[in-house]
Amino acid sequence: MTTTPRAVRRASPRARRTTAPQPDPAAPLLPSRDPVRMLDESGKRIPSEYAEPPGETLRELYRRMVIGRRFDVQATALTKQGRLAVYPSSRGQEACQVAGVMAVRPDDWVFPTYRESMALVSRGIDPVEVLTLLRGDWHCGYDPAALHTAPQCTPLATQTIHAAGVAYGEAYQGRDTVALAFIGDGATSEGDFHEGVNFAAVFRAPVVFFVQNNRYAISVPLSRQTAAPSLAYKGVGYGIACEQVDGNDPVAVLAVLNRAVEHARSGNGPFLVEAHTYRLEPHTNADDASRYRTMDEVEAWLGRDPIARLEAYLRGAGVLDDAAVEAVRAEAEAYAADLRERMNAEPTVDPMSLFDHVYATPTPQLLEQREQVRAELAAESEVES
Amino acid sequence: MTTTPRAVRRASPRARRTTAPQPDPAAPLLPSRDPVRMLDESGKRIPSEYAEPPGETLRELYRRMVIGRRFDVQATALTKQGRLAVYPSSRGQEACQVAGVMAVRPDDWVFPTYRESMALVSRGIDPVEVLTLLRGDWHCGYDPAALHTAPQCTPLATQTIHAAGVAYGEAYQGRDTVALAFIGDGATSEGDFHEGVNFAAVFRAPVVFFVQNNRYAISVPLSRQTAAPSLAYKGVGYGIACEQVDGNDPVAVLAVLNRAVEHARSGNGPFLVEAHTYRLEPHTNADDASRYRTMDEVEAWLGRDPIARLEAYLRGAGVLDDAAVEAVRAEAEAYAADLRERMNAEPTVDPMSLFDHVYATPTPQLLEQREQVRAELAAESEVES
Amino acid sequence: MSAVTTTSVSMAKALNAALRDAMAADERVVVFGEDVGQLGGVFRITDGLLATYGEQRCFDTPLAEAGIVGFAVGMAMSGLRPVVEMQFDAFAYPAFEQITSHVAKLRNRTRGALGVPIVIRVPYAGGIGGVEHHCDSSEAYYAHTPGLKVVTPGCVEDAYSLLREAIDDPDPVVFLEPKKLYFTSAEASLPVTTPGFGRAVVRRPGRDATLIAYGPSVPVALEAAEAARDEGWDLEVIDLRTLVPFDDETVTASVRRTGRCVVVQEAQGFAGMGAEIAARVQERCFHSLHAPVLRVAGLDIPYPPPKLEHLHLPGVDRVLDAVARLQWDDQPDPRWVAA
Amino acid sequence: MSAVTTTSVSMAKALNAALRDAMAADERVVVFGEDVGQLGGVFRITDGLLATYGEQRCFDTPLAEAGIVGFAVGMAMSGLRPVVEMQFDAFAYPAFEQITSHVAKLRNRTRGALGVPIVIRVPYAGGIGGVEHHCDSSEAYYAHTPGLKVVTPGCVEDAYSLLREAIDDPDPVVFLEPKKLYFTSAEASLPVTTPGFGRAVVRRPGRDATLIAYGPSVPVALEAAEAARDEGWDLEVIDLRTLVPFDDETVTASVRRTGRCVVVQEAQGFAGMGAEIAARVQERCFHSLHAPVLRVAGLDIPYPPPKLEHLHLPGVDRVLDAVARLQWDDQPDPRWVAA
Ligand SMILES: Cc1ncc(C[n+]2csc(CCOP(=O)(O)OP(=O)(O)O)c2C)c(N)n1
Ligand SMILES: Cc1ncc(C[n+]2csc(CCOP(=O)(O)OP(=O)(O)O)c2C)c(N)n1
Ligand SMILES: [Mg+2]
Ligand SMILES: [Mg+2]
């Protein structure tokens, strides 16, 4: 722990910048003029400077996207049955959700928002534990420390700073883990986004900031978040690498994220990736999207389905065939059936946990209140029995 | 007031941006590769695409810089005599302080920080009223509404948002006023800077954000605020015009600010200007700058004196001669003498004003407390007499 | 102005009508925030304002609460009267510096030259099964900050009238809307004018003890008072309506008469608004009190998940328990004897 | 560990020693914030830490308080124990969302899986002639937020010992340092261990009434107690030391014995910490009280400019006035009879 951490070493914090002429300092900072694409809308390969992930990986990407979507559809259905309090769907954003977590290692840290339930199950987290928050049982159902996965974050953009802190802290302790912070287009307007990216930049912390630009923040359109050509350009102001990518092109999303993670892991500081995508469902099941967008718009994006695109490509490349597709479909159905069944069981939530984790050791005042609630519950169950 | 305001009209808020190929969208957004200069360090004119302000104006710029510096030196002296609680000097930053307020009209709104006392006196505000805050009499000594000059702002970067709001509000009411927000290099790291610039950008509010990059935030060097080539590059991420300028070149600072103000006033949205400069004094009289910077560094910047540079240029151009220089010097001395004398008089501060302006009409609780304090003071003065 | 008719109106609709009427009455009134435009707000409080008054007077902003509040400060400086919406209680926290260091202080800092006539609307408190960060009771943070007025309606009529008054007020008002009351209705004819800022109202007269409530706890207190009748207690219920300015007169008069007092608040109890009320009441009514002023409040925990919120929220039973502990037999409360 | 010697130590030096010793004892402790490195902090509390422990363990950050606190949260998640400095009280407000929505809640949200052992040091309160935004007493905001521990030393020994304990604590601690006491000194031998969190201390025993104070108001209360002797009152002075957890036991025992109580706080009074104390005391000691619990607090105004701060700050005279109003003649306080 006493070795100078890489991130820290490279920061060279007291180096003074000079005002003397420099060779076009911003040029290498600009993202691609247009979003990176590796597959066209029909699934045909487009040449790109980015390295295509191996067939095995793409096949796995496909598998997780199919399961992820099935999971997502199931979760939305559960809200209608009153089994979930609320669910923010990421249908349409499967390429981003799945490639995001596939680009990182299990010991890397992931910072999801409320939107990333699909990403979390794709990372292998038990879907019931993922839905604990949205079922209303507790604020977080999985073990974030063990899984290196922060609780899903609701206060917008606040998690970007935590990602910078974790990345710095891990490097400080000599580990080569990376932090991946998911964030929405709307949340880039929050001050915390600015501070998080800037902290990572100044301290060269290994963070990938991954903006899923799905064009809306609830009802607020992208034009109310930025006047810049694209959100990726924000990287320029922080002096960090940045890129924009077609968020419905699974191959491109994974390829760009792979490079971003590699960049961060090898000590080059943070990387900002903007994926242009679209959420097909309302913001959550409680939202009425017809108030702010047309069905035509939604239809157009339905035609840019990331799963269909990848499937077409992999079939063409001989990586997928009918049998494999069918097997994945069946697996997804089984996954959903299992989830459905397990979500039918009403979980027992221990009321005493209200008091037990406010502090490591409850204060005397909390013990009093705990005792009061315990007595009330005991009296109630006496009345009942 | 019912006409659609210009800023609002141009925002075209629901316009959707397309992901289709665009011609190099960021290129026109980049600032100059190197800070704009119009005078070299010896005061010789360098060719520039920026328009040189008329001789009359430069002469006035010179005059106000000389008086401004004299004011500043006087204020620092007043701290030593215990006549000011604290004073943050802007010696060395005269070009920025004075050109800043000369670039705007009296009905434009100015948002100064604690550092801008010199700018305020250059705007024609009574120096005693400017120093009210720092003398400890009240939080603001001048009338901000009448003077279209916000109180000096201490909480970093918070004023950038107010500037956006005023600019939008003025445009909404059909006025063509501009808001000029001063801000330091360190304060650009605050979330509020991000939000202020972004609001102005999204609503195309006529604001000029003027960063005086004096290389330090108290002791924290610029390298801890940003990893970008320069702070001006931050404009790119907001899709707004930006520029960097040699902050010790008064002609260039005024020329760039003139363009920025013109840009904003004619409905093109905000403009971000970064001036590279240096504060010669400690952060305030209470600061010990020797802890974080060398005298060599200070010496080097003493050699880049903005006043000497402008004087040399104007003498060469025949706009200034010995007599004129002497007249300005004498005026500055008289100004300082007058200030010194007026600051000797201990002002009377009405204690009841503590209560009178918490709300437009004091609450019953405040009236009680007011009465209590009045009674205490009455009892005291009885004891004394 | 809306036509005067008596119909069943929800609190949400009353608030919407107040905004609508205020915008009609004064062109300087502008409404903005997150999702307040096309969507009409996640609770539809701004529904239809964009359609009626256009993009300039009701619009969506970037997602940035400090930005929204700071933008309002600037607009107020230019002479407008902004009404902004924070989407939920906990999402006003990013604006905390703007609220405490600018909104609350600007008039004072400038000796009255720059008032800040803005209204910060905050849907607050719980009881709606919301997930974390959507149910905070944040009134104490604001009430403790000099320069802010803090208002929270407990009924439909007040929702309308107090919001109109807030918009007309020369000072900044944090207007706290109890989310769980949005869809409660009353027969009301709008526009309606109820007593002004700084006036508490006795919602139910009673002789034996005084329940003091505000916002979301008003219906709880009223229900408790009804239930208490069965147990032989005649309880007075006071709705504070505005926390700042505070109506000492009404409160003190009531407690001096009844001699007993319970304060009901939904927020976590420690250092909450109820503490201020209890402290004031015992200061002013000490010699009339037959028992300590008791508080029924939320637990001192982060707001719980939906499945457990019923354990957190002060309900009728807890209020009645507190009333029972008001030493009717003139014995010290055994609860505190050991503590 | 520092060598054990008794010398005159200022509170500033004691805090510096605590940081130094904590860093020596535990490599996971890192210190960062604005100007804490080369400069050693504007109050020099971090003086020399950079030189001793290097850039990795004591460093300056960008000027962004939410960033500083959020960065600490992330570092704590990775297993470190960050100690951050907010330069002044009002400059912690930009971090309010990080503090309330993350720092305070993370352990609870994750059922104990993710604790947040960070210390947020805040130089606070006034009495130093500081200009606006440099003198806020912000303790109530934190004390009202479940999940935070709130600590404020009133003497040199506590400054050392409580800061060491805060750094070792598994929970987040808002550590409020009374600026005006930074340069007060005491004969002390560091390291020193004083009673732990949740223990108030009787600084001066007395029989007639209890003064409850904390942080900057402790010396005021002690001075008032001395002065009261001349007027024939023997006053007990309690220093709370930690506002959360709160020591009901010590407070209650004292007031039950003395029967009278005055709370002294520097913050504006309304909905402040003193309200909580007064409310608790009358709840628990009602039958022992001969007079209402009174509060002596700052005025309900934004912190005043230097030339007027003496009118705001609760001083000895106001404390004695309050003591005089404790109904020694068993008559109701005329002050409240009209109100
Ligand atoms: C600080 C804060 N303000 C407001 C909200 C309420 N809110 C929740 S989601 C959301 C929209 C976010 O949009 P975006 O960042 O684009 O992400 P998306 O939901 O589209 O994935 C808003 C305003 C919040 N959670 N946090
Ligand atoms: C929100 C906030 N945090 C911290 C401070 C304390 N502070 C006052 S001035 C200053 C340095 C600001 O540096 P910079 O923005 O570069 O402006 P300069 O002082 O160099 O003109 C700091 C940290 C503050 N005033 N506000
Ligand atoms: Mg979005
Ligand atoms: Mg600076």
pLDDT given for residue C234 in this prediction: 98
Q: Between chains, do C299 and A373 touch, taking CB under 8 Å as contact?
A: yes
Q: How far apart are CA B334 and CA B325, in angstroms?
A: 14
Q: Is B258 part of a structural domain of the chain?
A: yes
Run of H or E including B55: helix B55-80
| CB burial readout A132-145, b (16+ within 10 A) else e | bbbbbbbbbbbbbe
pLDDT digits (tens, 9 = 90+) for C207-259: 999 999 999 999 999 999 999 999 999 999 999 999 999 999 999 999 999 99
Domain end (from D130, D155, D190): D190
Ligand nearest to the CA of D41: 2
Residue B196 has pLDDT above 60, yes or no: yes
Catalytic residue of the set B172, B194, B233, B292: B292
Q: Do residues A92 and A167 both lie within one domain? A: yes
pLDDT digits (tens, 9 = 90+) for A163-197: 999 999 999 999 999 999 999 999 999 999 999 99
Q: Which residues of B touch D131 (CB under 8 A)?
A: 85-86, 133-134, 136, 139, 154
Q: Is D196 part of a structural domain of the chain?
A: no
pLDDT digits (tens, 9 = 90+) for A298-329: 999 999 999 999 999 999 999 999 999 999 99
Q: Is B214 part of a structural domain of the chain?
A: yes
Write the CB contacts of C141 (distance below 8 Å, at least 6 apart in sequence): C96, D141, D144
Q: Do residues A246 and A324 both lie within one domain? A: yes
From B241's Cα to the closest Cα of chain C, the distance in A is 19
Q: Is A59 part of a structural domain of the chain?
A: yes
pLDDT digits (tens, 9 = 90+) for A244-279: 999 999 999 999 999 999 999 999 999 999 999 999
User: Would you say the CB of residue C139 lies under 6 angstroms from ligand 1?
Assistant: no
Q: Which residues of B touch D317 (CB under 8 A)?
A: 376
| Contact status of A192 with chain C (Cβ, < 8 Å) | yes
Out of A179, A199, A359, the one facing D171 most closely (by C-beta) is A359
Q: Do residues C64 and C166 both lie within one domain? A: yes
Residue C13 has pLDDT above 80, yes or no: yes
Higher model confidence: residue B327 or residue B26?
A: B327
Tell me the residue range of the domain where A194 lies: 27-343
Tokens 């606070």 identify what position?
A: D124
Residue A295 has pLDDT above 60, yes or no: yes
Q: Do residues D181 and D207 both lie within one domain? A: no
Q: How far apart are CA B154 and CA D19, in angstroms?
A: 29
Phi, psi of C100 (to 5 degrees): -75, -40
User: Would you say the CB of residue A155 lies under 6 angstroms from ligand 1?
Assistant: yes
User: Would you say the CB of residue A217 lies under 6 angstroms from ligand 1?
Assistant: yes
Q: Do residues C13 and C62 both lie within one domain? A: yes
CA of B225 to the centre of ligand 4 (A): 10
Q: Do residues A367 and A277 both lie within one domain? A: no
CATH number of the domain enclosing C56:
3.40.50.970
Q: pLDDT band for position C334 (50/70/90)?
A: low
Out of B166, B202, B365, the one facing C78 most closely (by C-beta) is B166
**How many domains are contained in chain A?**
2
Q: Residues of chain D with pLDDT > 90: what percent?
A: 94
Tell me the residue range of the domain where C239 lies: 201-336
Domain end (from D190, D216, D236): D190
**Residues 356 through 375 of chain B touching chain C, CB cutoff 8 Å:** 356-360, 363-365
Tokens 């960065």 identify what position?
A: D71
pLDDT given for residue C337 in this prediction: 58
Q: Do residues B331 and B359 both lie within one domain? A: no
pLDDT given for residue C336 in this prediction: 59
From C220's Cα to the closest Cα of chain A, the distance in A is 18
Please give the residue of chain B at the shortest CA–CA distance from C147.
Answer: B358
- Work out which ligand 1 atom sits closest to the CA atom of A90: 21
Q: Is C21 part of a structural domain of the chain?
A: yes
Q: Is C195 part of a structural domain of the chain?
A: no
pLDDT given for residue D330 in this prediction: 67
Average pLDDT over residues D305-317: 97
Higher model confidence: residue A21 or residue B209?
A: B209
Q: Is A14 part of a structural domain of the chain?
A: no
CA of A185 to the centre of ligand 1 (A): 9
pLDDT digits (tens, 9 = 90+) for A117-170: 999 999 999 999 999 999 999 999 999 999 999 999 999 999 999 999 999 999
Residue D4 has pLDDT above 70, yes or no: no
Run of H or E including D31: strand D29-33
Ligand 4 ion: residues within 5 Å (CB): B 184-186, 214, 217
Q: Do residues D228 and D179 both lie within one domain? A: no
| Contact status of D62 with chain B (Cβ, < 8 Å) | yes
Please give the residue of chain B at the shortest CA–CA distance from D40.
Answer: B291
HEC secondary structure over chain C: CCCCEEEEEEHHHHHHHHHHHHHHHCCCEEEEECCCCCCCCCCCCCCCHHHHHCCCCEEECCCCHHHHHHHHHHHHHCCCEEEEECCCHHHHHHHHHHHHHHHCCHHHHCCCCCCCCCEEEEEECCCCCCCCCCCCCCHHHHHCCCCCEEECCCCHHHHHHHHHHHHHCCCCEEEEEEHHHCCCEEEEEECCCCCCCCCCEEEECCCCEEEEECCCHHHHHHHHHHHHHHCCCCEEEEECCEEECCCHHHHHHHHHHHCCEEEEEEEECCCCHHHHHHHHHHHHHHHHCCCCCEEEEECCCCCCCHHHHHHHCCCHHHHHHHHHCCCCCCCCCHHHHHC
pLDDT digits (tens, 9 = 90+) for D8-58: 999 999 999 999 999 999 999 999 999 999 999 999 999 999 999 999 999
Q: Is D306 part of a structural domain of the chain?
A: yes
DSSP string, D280-301: HHHHHHGGG-SSPPEEEEE-SS
Q: Between chains, do B155 and D93 touch, taking CB under 8 Å as contact?
A: yes
Q: Do residues A288 and A376 both lie within one domain? A: no
User: Would you say the CB of residue B286 lies under 6 angstroms from ligand 2?
Assistant: no
Site to probe by mutation for ligand 1, drawn from A218, A223, A231 as the one with most ligand atoms within 8 Å of Cβ, is A218
Phi, psi of C311 (to 5 degrees): -75, -20
Q: pLDDT band for position B385 (50/70/90)?
A: confident
Site to probe by mutation for ligand 1, drawn from C91, C131, C138 as the one with most ligand atoms within 8 Å of Cβ, is C91
Q: Do residues B244 and B380 both lie within one domain? A: no
Q: How far apart are CA B230 and CA B249, in angstroms?
A: 17
Q: Do residues A312 and A380 both lie within one domain? A: no
Q: How far apart are CA D328 and CA D233, in angstroms?
A: 10
CA of B150 to the centre of ligand 4 (A): 20
Q: Do residues D239 and D118 both lie within one domain? A: no
User: Would you say the CB of residue C94 lies under 6 angstroms from ligand 1?
Assistant: yes
Catalytic residue of the set A69, A123, A259, A279: A279
**How many domains are contained in chain C?**
2
Q: Between chains, do D245 and A365 touch, taking CB under 8 Å as contact?
A: yes
Q: Between chains, do A169 and D80 touch, taking CB under 8 Å as contact?
A: yes
CATH number of the domain enclosing C301:
3.40.50.920
Q: Do residues B273 and B368 both lie within one domain? A: no
Please give the residue of chain A at the shortest CA–CA distance from B229.
Answer: A25
Q: Do residues B368 and B219 both lie within one domain? A: no
Q: Is D195 part of a structural domain of the chain?
A: no
Q: Between chains, do A190 and C64 touch, taking CB under 8 Å as contact?
A: yes
CA of B182 to the centre of ligand 4 (A): 11
A359 is catalytic: no
**Residues 1 through 60 of chain C touching chain D, CB cutoff 8 Å:** none
Q: Is C196 part of a structural domain of the chain?
A: no
Q: Is D315 part of a structural domain of the chain?
A: yes
**Residues 10 through 69 of chain B touching chain C, CB cutoff 8 Å:** 13
Q: How far apart are CA B76 and CA B89, in angstroms?
A: 7
Domain end (from D162, D190, D218): D190
Q: Do residues C231 and C185 both lie within one domain? A: no
Among A153, A199, A367, A372, the strongest candidate for a mutation testing the D interface, having the largest count of D CBs within 10 A, is A199
Q: Is D11 part of a structural domain of the chain?
A: yes
Q: Do residues D165 and D243 both lie within one domain? A: no
User: Would you say the CB of residue A378 lies under 6 angstroms from ligand 1?
Assistant: no
Helix (H, G, I), strand (E, B) or coil at B118: helix
Phi, psi of D222 (to 5 degrees): -65, -40
Q: Do residues B110 and B151 both lie within one domain? A: yes
pLDDT digits (tens, 9 = 90+) for D120-153: 999 999 999 999 999 999 999 999 999 999 999 9
Q: Quote the ipTM score.
A: 0.96
- Output the CA–CA distances (angstroms, integers) from residue B206 to B157, B167, C159, D181, in the order listed: 18, 6, 37, 47
Strand partners, C121: C85, C175
Q: Do residues C186 and C209 both lie within one domain? A: no
Task: Look at ligand 2, atom 4, and give the residue with the nearest C-alpha.
Answer: D91
Tokens of C336: 């505190």
Q: How far apart are CA C293 and CA B46, in angstroms?
A: 78
Helix (H, G, I), strand (E, B) or coil at B305: coil
CA of A137 to the centre of ligand 1 (A): 22
| Contact status of D279 with chain C (Cβ, < 8 Å) | yes
Residue B14 has pLDDT above 50, yes or no: no
| Contact status of A261 with chain D (Cβ, < 8 Å) | no
Chain B to chain C Cβ contacts (< 8 Å): 161
Out of D61, D299, D318, the one facing B354 most closely (by C-beta) is D299
